[in-house]
Amino acid sequence: MVTIRMTRGGTNKRPFYHVVATDSRCPRDGKHLERLGFFNPQARGAEKRLELKLDRVDYWVGVGAGTSDRVATLIKEARKAAV
């Protein structure tokens, strides 16, 4: 099953996450099918905190992909900001 979830990047004590579509059996930072955006929880000033390709998210959900709880919250936040 395809899952939309986050992979961790960044350095120690400064996390940065990519939102990706991946096979649910792959490890967290393993290979992914498509990168859908990013989430920077420690964004400051003019830095972007969240960016998602909502059209691609809709595609993956439409073909049966599930989302993690945190990613579902981020998608709602991105849709609210896009309006």
The range of the structural domain enclosing residue 51 comes to 2-82
The pTM score is: 0.90
Condensed to tens digits (0 to 9), the pLDDT of residues 21-77 reads: 999 998 888 889 999 999 999 999 999 999 999 999 999 999 999 999 999 999 999
Whether residue 17 contacts residue 9, with contact meaning beta carbons closer than 8 Å, is answered with yes
pLDDT at 37: 97
Residue 20's CATH number: 3.30.1320.10
Q: How many residues are present in the chain?
A: 83
Instruction: List the one residue out of 6, 55, 52, 48 whose CA is nearest residue 29.
Output: 6
Residue 27's pLDDT is 87
Domain total in the chain: 1
Short-list 19, 6, 81, CA closest to 53: 19
Question: For residue 29, what pLDDT is reported?
Answer: 84
